[in-house]
Structures are given as C-alpha cells and as structure tokens.
Amino acid sequence: MTSNNLDILKALEAKNFQIQIGKLGTAAIQAPVGKHRDALKILLDLDEKTAVTAITGIDLGASVGVYYHVRTSNSFVTIQCEVPKDKPTLATITDLVPGAAFHELEVTDLLGVVFEGHPNPGRLVLPDTWPEGVYPLRKDVKINEVKLNTPSSEDVKLSDGSGLVKIVIGPHHPALLEPEKFAVLVDGETVKKVEPRIGYVHRGVEKASESKTYLQDVYLVERICGICNSCHATAFVEAVEKILKTDVPPRAKYIRTIILELNRLHSHLLTLGHAGLEIGYETLFQYFWRDREPIMDLTEMITGNRVISSSLTVGGVRRDIKEADIPKIKATLTELRKKIPFYKQMYENEPSIRMRMQKVGVLAREDALKLCVVGPVARGSGVDIDVRKDEPYEAYGEIPFKEVVYTAGDTWARMNVRMDEVEESINIIEYALDHLPSGAYRVKVPRVVPPGEAVNRVEAPRGELFYYVKSNGTAFPERVKVRTPTFANIPAFLKTAIGESIADVPPNFVSLDPCFSCTDR
C-alpha cells in the first residue's frame, strides 16, 4: 500500500490542516495543539511505511516548537506544533509509533516538553546529576552557570530479589568500544529485560553549534562521528545550501559522492570485521581490517586526511580529485573487489558464522516499520528504504546502483546487507570516477545566511541521517538538530534481545553497527 504525495496532501487538506508545500521536506503541516495525532494517523493509514524520523524541539521565544518529521514511502513531511512555555505538554505518539519513544524523551530532556502518556519517562541523554527544570536547548539557559547536583553514591544491586541476575554491559566493557550502559537482566543465560542508559559522552553539539558560524559548524558536526564524518558534513552543508539556494557545481557533487561512498566502504568493512570479533572469530576481524586499510589510504589521498576528512564545505568541496590519482583509486578498488567473493562466501556459508548469526535477533518486518528503524537494519528486515534511492541527493540520482534488501531480519541478514553494499559502493565509486564532470569544484557563498529553515536527509553507512537547520539571518545558526541512525536503531536491539541467550547479545547488538558518539551528540 503506497500512495503518492498528492493523496497524502489531499487527505490532510480534507481534515482542514494548513499545508505549506515545499517547506521542510515535501510539505509542512500546521497542527494545532492536540491535532498532531490526527495528522499522524492520516499518514499512518495511508502508507504502511510511514515512520517518525525525528522530533525536533525548538525554542520559539514565547513557545516551544515541536516538529514531527515523518517519512512515508515517497515523501517527507513535517508536522509542526507549538506549545506554550509555561505549560509545555503534548499527548504522546508512542502508542501510534512505538519508535518515537526515544525521540520524545530527548525533547523532554533538552527542552522540557512533557509528553503525556509516555510509557517509561525518565532521563535519556542528560546526566543524572543535571538539575531539574533546566533545559539546555532553551535560549535563556546559560550553560556555564548550570550547577550539577552531587552524584548519589547508591550501590548497584546485582539482584533485585526476583531471581534475575543483572549483567551490566557498560559503560566499561570489552564488547563496547564506547561508553554506554545496557543493564541486561538474565535468568540463567536467557535475557529477560534490557535497560538502556545513553548519554555518557553527550557533548552538546546541538547547543555548541548555535554559538559557532556555519563554516565552523561544518567541522563541528563532522566530529560527531569519526566513522561517518563526511555524511554528517554533507547533511549539514546540504541543509545550509538549501537555505542559501546555492547550486553546487556537478563536479563537487560527484566528488562528494565518492567521499561518501569511501566512508560507507570503510565503515561497512569495519563492522563486518567487528562482528567477527564479537562472535569470537578473530581471524575474520583481522582479515577485514587489513583490507580496510587501503580504503583509509584512499581517503587520505583524496581529502588529505585519513579519518576525519574535513573536505566538504558550504558550496562544494575543498579539494579537487587529481587526474593522476584516478588510476590509483581504481587499482585499489579492483584489488578490493577481487577479495569480495571470498568474504561473501564466508558470510553466506561458513557454518560457525551461520550458527551464531542466523535466527539471532530476528526483527520482523512489521516491528521494523513500527520501531522506525533505518539503514541496513531496516533493509535486513525487508523494508526497502534508502535515502539514496528515495530522495536522491548529490550525484546518486545519476548513478545506477542496486538497493540491497534481505528479508530474514536476523543478524545474518543485516551483515549480508552490508556485505552486498560493499560491492555496490565500489560500483558507485568507479562509475562516479568514469563520469566525473569537469568544471569548478566549489562556489563562493556568503557567510551570512538569510532567515530560513531546511531539513535534509543523507544515507549514512548506518542508515538515514537527519539534519534540521534553522537560520536567523546572522552568521550563526538558530538551531541545528541532528538525528543519527544509531539513535533510531537502538529500540530494535531492546526488542530483539528479549528471550535470547546472553551469548547472542553481542552479535545482535553489533549487527546494528552501533555508534555511540553519534548517539550522544
């Protein structure tokens, strides 16, 4: 059941919603307080692939704006609500869209909007010592003057008397390379409940970006994540370019595409290897990481930096690809392509991999849709969403490539999605190199951005990455909202881990390709 944009807009107009076409995605819908659920219901009824991408909270002076960014199969709409600051309450949408639970908690933490009827309210991103009633993203809060409470020194109880043992995975644990806590309650070896706590390395990038210029913000948002850094930069500069109405030269678009795909390549190779480590297959890990090295070298050759490329800027890219480098890039990719069949056959047929990954962490298609998961996790469950196809950006509209979808929904399917995407990425880069347009690779843009707002989506290696940027006519943005793919995918882990063995927790979790520095912006 799909629908085109017109159907959706007609249905919404019939219910007397104000619609602004072309604003914040396909259209922006003004919903009076209490009506946002009706608008969402219409969208949910019309299209099974309707999912909440993000909820942006924004300080509008006297009121707080709550924007629900909703994607359907072929459109992207924003439902705009406003709640007064003195009584910031809204009805929850978690009963309609369970995947919105984390997004609502985040808005509560950062802007103090209370969502009535939320199933498990509590702190999500702010530390436990953060004082009550101070909401960091409100404009009147002076962050330097916030006084943290003294941390309480209560003992962690290993058992609550119910016979369940609490295994705490994190904040320090060999399976997690970044600090995040999952308290896993186990009965024997079976997982009964997972209690997440994120925010251990929350750096307040959204707040920090409001005090830096647009150009500085490009480098700031790049540092949200070391692995998919170019995706963050692309998502941000594209949003700014939308507000500026800048036309990026075609050569820049192709170069950006190449950098983005190199990002995806090295990210996927990293995860495919890391999954080997989690199931105790160290050899696989060592092999994948050996073959990831040349990709890092390519990134360095093209952008000048090995990890954080810092090569994108508003209006284009900062460095051209030299003609002399193209054969070298192609040679490296050919070398990698030769190794792909071996790895593919490894992931598809190796018995111990199949035993550890098949039927582990099964996420059914309906659950994947309900929980609004993105990227390889969704594609492993048979949900064909890929921003590169659905809403082509940069040069993706002109480059032929296959959208990889597996239907099994287990860890094995998610890893195989990545395995096949490695091959597609090589194809995309080779095509882009062959069809590289000539001409300028950047245009000059003004430092001061006119008032406006824009949303932008990019397919990061881990899935749909969402940015919302609002400018106020100065050189500093009014609000930058980032929704990272891992943030959207964690609910899938919380659901699929229940009832499985504790030994299945690491492979299941790593199959989301979790990135906590993304999650804790």
Partner 1 sequence: MIDYLWLIFRVLVFPGFTFILFLTMFCDWIERKIEARMQNRMGPSFTGPSGILQPLADFIKLLTKEEITPNESRKSIFRFAPFFAFSVLIFALCFLPIDGASVIPNVSFGGDLIFVMALISVANFLLFLSGWSSSNPYSSIGAARVLTQFLGYDIPLLMLALAPAFLAGSLTIATIVARQWIPFVVLAPWAFIFFIITMQAELEKDPFDIPHAESEVVAGYETEYSGGKLAFLKLARDVQIVFGASLVTVLFLGGTNGPAFFGLPELWSTLWFVLKVVAVIVISEYMTVLFARLRIDQIVRANWKFMLPLSVLSLLLTIGLAVWVYPMV
Q: Which helix (H) or strand (E) holds 353?
A: helix 351-357
Examine residue 249 and say whether the peptide bond preceding it is cis (omega within 30 degrees of 0): no
286 forms part of the interface with partner 1 (CB under 8 A): yes
| Among 34-42, 276-284, 412-420, 468-476, the segment contacting partner 1 (CB under 8 A) | 276-284
Question: Helix or strand or coil: residue 185?
Answer: strand
Residues 6+ positions from 428 with CB-CB distance below 8 Å = 257, 261, 396, 399, 401
430 forms part of the interface with partner 1 (CB under 8 A): no
| Among 25-33, 172-180, 333-341, 441-449, the segment contacting partner 1 (CB under 8 A) | 172-180
Residues 6+ positions from 264 with CB-CB distance below 8 Å = 421, 425, 460, 461
Residues 472-501 that bind partner 1 (CB under 8 A): 501
Q: Out of 350, 398, 403, 424, name the contact with partner 1 by CB under 8 A.
A: 350
* Shortest separation between residue 329's beta carbon and partner 1, angstroms: 23
Q: Out of 221, 353, 383, 512, name the contact with partner 1 by CB under 8 A.
A: 353
504 forms part of the interface with partner 1 (CB under 8 A): yes
* Shortest separation between residue 275's beta carbon and partner 1, angstroms: 10
Long-range Cβ contacts of 8-17 (<8 Å, 24+ apart): 8/42, 8/43, 8/46, 8/47, 8/72, 8/75, 8/77, 11/42, 11/46, 12/39, 12/42, 12/43, 15/39, 15/42
Do residues 88 and 112 make contact, with C-beta atoms less than 8 angstroms apart? yes
Report H helices in 279-318.
282-303
Residue 460 and residue 267: Cα distance in Å, rounded?
Answer: 10
153 forms part of the interface with partner 1 (CB under 8 A): no
Do residues 485 and 375 make contact, with C-beta atoms less than 8 angstroms apart? yes
Q: Which helix (H) or strand (E) holds 495?
A: helix 485-496
164 forms part of the interface with partner 1 (CB under 8 A): no
Number of residues that bind partner 1 (CB under 8 A): 32
Residue 36 and residue 27: Cα distance in Å, rounded?
Answer: 15
* Shortest separation between residue 293's beta carbon and partner 1, angstroms: 11
CA-nearest of 95, 93, 105, 73 to 3 is 73
512 forms part of the interface with partner 1 (CB under 8 A): no
Q: Out of 23, 41, 123, 173, name the contact with partner 1 by CB under 8 A.
A: 173
* Shortest separation between residue 196's beta carbon and partner 1, angstroms: 18
CA-nearest of 209, 450, 96, 356 to 79 is 96
CA-nearest of 19, 113, 103 to 55 is 103
Q: Out of 356, 414, 457, 521, name the contact with partner 1 by CB under 8 A.
A: 356
Q: Out of 139, 290, 402, 447, name the contact with partner 1 by CB under 8 A.
A: 290
* Shortest separation between residue 353's beta carbon and partner 1, angstroms: 6
503 forms part of the interface with partner 1 (CB under 8 A): yes
Which is closer to partner 1, CB of 202 or CB of 274? 274
Site string for partner 1, 184-213 (x = CB under 8 A): -----x------------------------
* Shortest separation between residue 283's beta carbon and partner 1, angstroms: 5
Q: Which residues lie near partner 1 (CB under 8 A)?
A: 158, 165-168, 173-175, 189, 276-284, 286-287, 290, 350, 352-353, 355-356, 501-506
